[in-house]
């Protein structure tokens, strides 16, 4: 594949291979260090590219931040689904899903979460993806109920519980309150859910 070939992405303008690489590099920088303190010039120097190259990805720093956050969650969602796909047992599927979420969120530093909190468009992307993940877990539980593996539970309460705790984990609230790292917190969430719904 040459640098002029295009790579596609759902809901994204088509990218050259170089642009896709830059998007991945920006994601790593933002996850590790946050994004609020960077200017486009800072990022261009850091990534050894021109500001014009960055403007080809987005029209402003704010739009670039949103695009990178979306890219991160799109990539994370694909990885989580891939890790979960091989599980057919409902209990193992829920556990695998939440543990995979923990793995994907591990690189996201407190600086990244802090900047998301202070940046409404990025926060909206985060909340949308957290809600989608909670819906996915709720659907898995509903499938387990239908298969007779889980007892009947109120789907709205399960969704609200999962969304709330996933949001707290992502913001660092759970770590501050309990001392648990994110991966452990997600494993505990899976255990709590499964203990509450198993027959």
Summarize pLDDT for 84-123 with one digit per residue, the tens.
998 888 888 988 998 898 889 888 888 998 899 899 999 9
User: Could you tell me which of 104, 111, 112, 108 has the C-alpha nearest to residue 133?
Assistant: 104
Retrieve residue 27's tokens. 């994601």
- Residue 11 pLDDT > 90: no
Residue 12 pLDDT level (bands cut at 50, 70, 90): low
pTM of the model: 0.82
Q: Which domains does the chain have, with CATH numbers?
A: 6-63 (1.10.10.60), 69-197 (1.10.357.10)
Per-residue pLDDT tens for 33-60?
A: 999 999 999 999 999 999 999 999 999 9
Retrieve residue 57's tokens. 């990805």
């Amino acid at each position: 594949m040459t640098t002029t070939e295009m790579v596609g992405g759902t809901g994204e303008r088509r990218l050259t291979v170089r642009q896709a690489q830059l998007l991945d590099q920006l994601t790593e920088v933002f996850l590790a260090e946050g994004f609020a303190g960077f200017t486009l010039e800072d990022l261009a120097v850091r990534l050894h590219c021109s500001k014009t190259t960055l403007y080809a990805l987005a029209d402003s720093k704010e739009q670039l931040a949103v695009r990178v956050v979306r890219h991160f969650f799109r990539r994370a969602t694909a990885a989580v689904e891939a890790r979960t796909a091989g599980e057919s047992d409902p209990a193992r599927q829920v556990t695998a899903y939440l543990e995979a979420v923990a793995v994907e969120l591990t690189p996201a530093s407190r600086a990244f979460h802090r900047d998301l909190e202070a940046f409404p468009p990025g926060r909206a992307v985060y909340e949308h993806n957290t809600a989608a993940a909670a819906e996915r877990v709720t659907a898995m539980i509903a499938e387990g109920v239908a298969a007779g593996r889980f007892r009947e539970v109120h789907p709205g309460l399960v969704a609200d519980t999962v969304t709330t705790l996933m949001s707290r984990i992502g913001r660092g609230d759970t770590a501050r309150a309990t001392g648990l790292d994110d991966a452990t917190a997600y494993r505990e969430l899976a255990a709590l859910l499964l203990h509450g719904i198993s027959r």
